[in-house]
Each structure stands twice: as C-alpha cells, then as structure tokens.
C-alpha cells in the first residue's frame, strides 16, 4: 500500500507527511531505503553531510518506482555555505543521487552571514529546475524573519528537532502563520520518551507501540515526520499510523509532555561543521 497522505506546500506542491530519514544509516542505507519504498514510503530525507546520497539514489533506481512518484530531500551543508560553493554542492548531490532534480533542497543550519546569500542562490537553483522547492532546517523564528526580509521566496519547510519532550509549539505556530510546513527530525526523541508513563498507557489503550503513538500525535498536529531506522520491521511499524486516530483528550495529554528538552542545543549554540 502506498502511503500517500501528504501536506500542501506554499508553492502548491504536495509533500508526503511520512518519510524515511537516513541520518547515520551508513552501510545500511540502501537496504533501508529499499525496505521503506517496499513498505509504501514515497519520501526520503537525505543530506550531503550524511555521506550516503549515492546509496539513496541506487535504492530508488533499483526499486523500479518512477522517480516522479518519490519525494527526495537533500541539504546544503554548513561548510559548503561558508566556502561559497552552494551551486556546486547541489550539482554534486544530484550527481551522487543520479537525478536531474530533487524535490526539496534545504539550508541545513542557519550559518551566520551565510544563510541569506545561500538562500538567494537556492532561489536561482529552483528557477532553473534543479530543485522543485526550497526550505530550511534548524531555523528559529528570528532566522526565518531575517531570511524573509531579504528574499523573494518563503521557505516551504522548516525542518526542526521536534518530539513530545520538545514540542516547539511557538515556532510551529509562527511557521503555520507564514505558510511554512514543519518537518520533525528526531520525531521519536530518544528511547527514554518511549518509557514515558503517558505514552506507555496510550500505547496500551490503543493497542499500538509507543513509536506509533508519538508519530500519530505529530501527524495529527500537521507535522511531517521522517523517523530514521535501518530495520525493516521498525520501518514497517513506523508506517502503520494511518489507520487510527488519537482522541482530542489524548492529544492534549501528549501536548502536556513538553519539557523543552533538546538533544541538540539551539542553533546559535550548536552549529556543526
């Protein structure tokens, strides 16, 4: 079954609400992407810094699924921004993926003094058809305001750390007001989230796993999720979130779990690369 539920971006294109992340998938990347596509996923989230775009592309080609049916995201890394090789970086990513375009190209982090000129180049790359949409990752409200004050195109997406212990509600509300969809990286948090008594109780009540409860809470909040796994059974488990719905009172219980607990420090204090 194809997992076709999607959200409309501010440019009118559709983005599947469930995707597979390949961060740190390493040598298992190709196998994981093939398993996801077989399970019905049609959205793969990659990045140049992950070092596995080649394997992502190989898996997509070997799947036999037409390229236009799969939503592919990749990202411009910090050092590529600092070096002024934004255009070359995307062309290199396309070469590794063996694709003519990506569906979404993101600025990976809001690198000071680099993200606005980098965004202007992304606008050009979109106009050229190298990417269908452009967006950002790890941007907070002040970065988004600054970017929109100095650009023509509003990002279609802000990909941020988001999970029950870090709900990011103020940032999500700002994005919603601007027509920017939110994608959650680390949507399942870490394993300690699975042991939360509220989530365990809800999993038991609904006959689901803690991961499925968390992912269901996120997609009911209009958040795009890209859980990462290299295990076929977990990839399939993460996809089984469209045949049930959390009750409003249970959504509220999940909302109340927020602790503003980050696994990565805020962007201004955590700029890798």
Helix (H, G, I), strand (E, B) or coil at 25: coil
Catalytic site residues? Answer: 50
Are the C-beta atoms of 154 and 180 separated by less than 8 Å? yes
Are the C-beta atoms of 166 and 137 separated by less than 8 Å? no
At 52, phi and psi to the nearest 5?
-135, 25
In angstroms, how far is CA 122 from the centroid of its own chain? 18
| Helices 29-38/53-63 angle, 10° precision | 40
CA count, 13 A, side-chain hemisphere, 151: 21
Residue of 118, 167, 164, 166 lying closest to 143 (CA atoms): 118
- DSSP, res 231: -
């Amino acid at each position: 079954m194809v997992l076709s539920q999607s959200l409309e971006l501010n440019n009118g294109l559709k983005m599947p609400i469930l995707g597979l992340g390949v961060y740190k998938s390493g040598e298992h990347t190709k196998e994981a992407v093939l398993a996801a596509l077989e399970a019905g996923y049609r959205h793969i989230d990659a990045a140049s810094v992950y070092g596995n775009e080649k394997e992502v592309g190989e898996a997509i080609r070997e799947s036999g699924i037409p390229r236009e049916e799969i939503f592919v995201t990749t990202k411009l890394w910090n050092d590529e921004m600092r070096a002024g090789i934004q255009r070359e970086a995307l062309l290199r990513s396309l070469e590794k993926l063996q694709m003519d375009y990506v569906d979404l190209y993101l600025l990976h982090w809001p690198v000071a003094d680099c993200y606005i000129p980098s965004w202007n180049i992304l606008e050009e790359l979109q106009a050229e058809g190298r990417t269908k949409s452009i967006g950002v990752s790890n941007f907070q409200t002040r970065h988004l305001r600054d970017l929109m004050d100095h650009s023509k195109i509003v990002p279609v997406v802000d990909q941020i750390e988001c999970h029950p212990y870090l709900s990011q509600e103020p940032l999500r509300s700002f994005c919603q007001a601007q027509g920017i969809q939110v994608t959650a990286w680390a949507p399942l948090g870490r394993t300690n989230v699975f042991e939360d008594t509220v989530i365990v109780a809800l999993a038991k009540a609904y006959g689901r796993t803690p991961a499925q409860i968390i992912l269901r809470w996120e997609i009911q909040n209009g958040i795009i999720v890209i859980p990462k796994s290299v295990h076929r059974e977990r990839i399939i488990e993460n996809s089984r979130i469209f045949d049930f719905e959390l009750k409003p009172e249970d959504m509220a219980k999940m909302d109340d779990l927020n602790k503003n607990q980050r696994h990565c420090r805020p962007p201004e204090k955590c700029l890798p690369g």
